[in-house]
Amino acid sequence: MVSIIVNGIDVSVPEGSTVMQAAAAAGFTIPSLCSHPDLKVKENCKVCVVDINGEIKLSCSEAAAPGMVIKTMTPAVLEAKRESLKKILELHPRDCLNCVRNLNCELQALAETLIIRSSDSKPLSLVKDTSTPSLVRDPSKCIACLRCVEVCNDIQTVGALEVKDVIPQTVDGKPLIETKCVMCGQCALACPVGAIVENEQIDEFIAAVADPDKVVITQIAPAVRVAVAEEVGIDTGSLDMLKFVSMLKQIGFDYVFHTNFTADLTILEEGNELLQRLKEGGVLPMLTSCSPGWINFIETFYPDQLDHLSTCKSPQQMFGPLAKTYWAEKMGIDPAKIYSVSIMPCTAKKFEAARLEMNASGYRDVDLVLTTREVGKLFRMTPWDVAKVEPSDFDSLLGAYTGAGVIFGASGGVMEAALRTVYEVVTGKTLEDVNLTMVRGFDGMKEAEVDLDGTKVKVAVANSLGCARKIMDDIKAGTSPYHFIEVMCCPGGCIGGGGQPIPSTIDKRKERIAAIYAEDAGLPLRKSHENPEVKLLYDDFLKEPLGHKSHELLHTHYAPTNK
Ligand code: SF4
Ligand code: SF4
Ligand code: SF4
Ligand code: FES
């Protein structure tokens, strides 16, 4: 341990800690812009300066050493911080009221903290990149912290961004859609300002609600509920699901359903697909297909391995056609009038909903995707006293769910949900302990072996595209030992999706995962095949997993992209 003094307080920190970390241990947060708790030190912004034994130095990169005396706020430190910040602001547009990150922007907050009331500004006028349905890149707001480049190139291993003359840009300066970008939005989560943001579509939703000819319905993804609490200022996971339903009805939805329903349905379809491949010698390992950033990744980087993917659509895209066929018919509603909005943790879902082939219902299956952050903004248009909101039930036919559907939101959740069902289907026995903890947790890679009445099935879970790349390289080399692999694009799974609340640090992602498993543990039904509305759907409409109607509405094909 290293002992130092910060603002007169003795503190001991582990060897190798930075001065910034030592100050945090003593209770002082040092304002900064380019540092991020989950990323490498960058030394770009120079606003993290402190006084170390009488010298002004960067706290993010200086290692804490025995006997150091640190002062985080002296007139000279303040002056140096303000100078660094003014340099950044000189090139920055004063556009806060028009900015997606207004009121959740690290630069704006820092300018307020350091009381920068004026500084000359000649922002560069650069063109916004609106080429993807998922994200908008506004290089004029970029402060060149380079967080996005590390996330895209090192964690996701996509390589859509590069650094030219210390400024990040898309590879060869191409529009994002023409790069290898998979629309995961991890760069948007890391960006301290409004330089990469979700493609905000709140006005489209408001217009749909105002149209008397539209029946506006929604599905809420499993990862959204735990995180949306953060958007309304309460603890992660503490927003009662049924209050959430009421709040969505208040902002204009006519019917509220749950993507957990089609998560349960996915398990029935995907579980049976796995069993069919195991029995009939189909292509193994089978890879899950519910994460659209992952689908974009495999289509772009491993186009010759697409037959490993399950043919199941994602739960979002299973819900879309079912709402405009089965549910519309049962309710006697003209499907042409249904406006289907998904509430998702994910920016890649906006891209997925816009894929040309996603029209199995005869209409656009999902009309609009709003992220958790966008729904947070809609909620903040009406200030809520959440304590006073009366709960409402989900609407029926597509609204029932089990704990297995809930855990889809966390890395390992799809695998655990699948194993809960596959075990019972194959063995005919009851799975007494449904907590399959070996596939849970934040680790990038997890593996397990399951005994299905004498057949040993080897499974693995990968979260983040960097881990997916390792899995794919093994599959390509013919050395993968697995039968079934879950891949999620985003670190931690959908709870860390690119549309989730900011900040989405690793610690925050872990809190969301804990909230997901707590919800699962408290539910009366925890296996997908026990979902009563899924059973009804098969009895009344689909007839059987992998049947004709399922193939028409719930399964898809993948195509190589030539990016
Ligand atoms: S990035 Fe931040 S400081 Fe810049 S315009 Fe947007 S909110 Fe304002
Ligand atoms: S969305 Fe993902 S793939 Fe695209 S630039 Fe950002 S981090 Fe890279
Ligand atoms: S786009 Fe955002 S994350 Fe990337 S360098 Fe610019 S400010 Fe940093
Ligand atoms: S946080 Fe230290 S230089 Fe940016």
- Return left, alpha or beta for 198; rule: phi > 0 is left, psi -120 to 50 is alpha, else beta: beta
CB 313 within 8 A of CB 345: no
Residue 270 is a catalytic residue: yes
- CA–CA gap between residue 462 and residue 515 (Å, rounded): 21
pLDDT of residue 457: 95
Q: Which of 184, 284, 283, 134 is nearest to 493 (CA)?
A: 184
Please list, in sequence order, all residues whose beta carbon lies within 8 angstroms of the beta carbon of residue 326, skipping any fewer than 6 positions away.
397, 537, 540, 541
Strands laid side by side in the 484-488 sheet: 286-287, 484-488, 455-463, 445-452
- CA–CA gap between residue 149 and residue 271 (Å, rounded): 37
Q: If you count them, how many residues does the chain have?
A: 563
DSSP label at 96?
G
Catalytic residue among 17, 59, 134, 310: 310
pLDDT of residue 117: 86
The residue nearest atom 6 of ligand 3, judged by CA position, is 142
CATH of region 205-554:
3.40.950.10
For a ligand 2 pocket test, name from 153, 182, 298 the mutation site with the most ligand atoms within 8 angstroms of its C-beta. Answer: 182
Report which bound ligand comes closest to the CA of 37: 4
Atom of ligand 1 nearest to the CA of 194: 1
pLDDT of residue 124: 84
pLDDT at 16 over 80: yes
Alpha helices (H) in 75-183, listed in sequence order: 75-90, 106-113, 147-150
Which residue intervals of the chain bear CATH 3.10.20.740? 2-89
Which residue intervals of the chain bear CATH 3.30.70.20? 121-198
More confident residue, 452 or 148: 148
**From the candidate CATH numbers 2.50.20.20, 3.10.20.740, 3.40.50.720, 3.40.50.300, the one assigned to the domain spanning 2-89:** 3.10.20.740
Q: What b/e string do you get for 58-94 counting C-beta neighbours within 10 Å, with b at 16 or more?
A: bbbebebeeebebbbeeeebeebbbebbbebbeebbe
User: Is there a cis peptide before residue 503, judged by omega within 30 degrees of 0?
Assistant: yes
Q: Which of 241, 223, 187, 239 is nearest to 512 (CA)?
A: 223
Atom of ligand 3 nearest to the CA of 187: 3
Longest CA–CA separation in the chain, Å: 77
Q: Is 97 helix (H, G, I), strand (E, B) or coil?
A: helix
- CA–CA gap between residue 342 and residue 361 (Å, rounded): 16
pLDDT of residue 562: 53
Confirm or reject: Cβ of 146 under 6 Å from ligand 3: yes
- CA–CA gap between residue 314 and residue 292 (Å, rounded): 8
Confirm or reject: Cβ of 156 under 6 Å from ligand 2: yes
Q: What is the pLDDT of residues 341-393, one digit of tens each?
A: 999 999 999 999 999 999 999 999 999 999 999 999 999 998 788 999 999 99
pLDDT of residue 563: 57
Cα dihedral 129→303→322→548 (10° resolution): 160
- CA–CA gap between residue 340 and residue 255 (Å, rounded): 10
Q: What is the pLDDT of residues 246-261, one digit of tens each?
A: 999 999 999 999 999 9
Average pLDDT over residues 6-27: 97
Residue 357 is a catalytic residue: yes
> Distances from the Cα of 231 to the Cαs of 122, 188, 341, in angstroms?
33, 16, 19
CB 278 within 8 A of CB 456: no
What is this structure's pTM? 0.97
pLDDT at 545 over 60: yes
Tell me the average pLDDT of the chain. 96
Q: What is the pLDDT of residues 190-235, one digit of tens each?
A: 999 999 999 999 999 999 999 999 999 999 999 998 999 999 999 9
Pairing of strands 55-58, 161-164: unpaired
Any idea which fold 121-198 has?
Alpha-Beta Plaits (3.30.70)
Atom of ligand 1 nearest to the CA of 92: 4
Q: Which of the residue ranges 10-19, 429-438, 486-495, 554-563 would you say has the lowest mean pLDDT? A: 554-563
- Return left, alpha or beta for 363; rule: phi > 0 is left, psi -120 to 50 is alpha, else beta: beta
Per-residue three-class SS string for 441-464: CCCCEEEEEEEECCEEEEEEEEEC
CA of 148 from ligand 3 middle (Å) equals: 5
Question: How many CA within 13 A on the CB side of residue 346?
Answer: 32
* Whole-number percent of the chain with pLDDT over 90: 95
CA of 358 from ligand 2 middle (Å) equals: 23
Which residue intervals of the chain bear CATH 3.40.950.10? 205-554
With residue 432 as reference, give the H or E element that holds it: none
CA of 317 from ligand 3 middle (Å) equals: 32
How many DSSP H helices and E strands does the chain contain?
A: 20, 17
CB 155 within 8 A of CB 464: yes
Residue 200 is a catalytic residue: no
CB 10 within 8 A of CB 3: yes
pLDDT at 118 over 80: no
The residue nearest atom 2 of ligand 2, judged by CA position, is 184
Alpha helices (H) in 127-196, listed in sequence order: 147-150, 186-190
Q: Which residue has the tokens 């879950």?
A: 486
Catalytic residue among 349, 446, 508, 527: 349
User: Is there a cis peptide before residue 285, judged by omega within 30 degrees of 0?
Assistant: yes
Evaluated on CA atoms 15, 19, 21, 22, the torsion sign reads positive
- CA–CA gap between residue 115 and residue 72 (Å, rounded): 16
Q: Which residue has the tokens 């006028």?
A: 125
Q: What is the pLDDT of residues 268-301, one digit of tens each?
A: 999 999 999 999 999 999 999 999 999 999 999 9
Catalytic residue among 299, 494, 519, 528: 494
Residue 349 is a catalytic residue: yes
Residue 198 is a catalytic residue: no
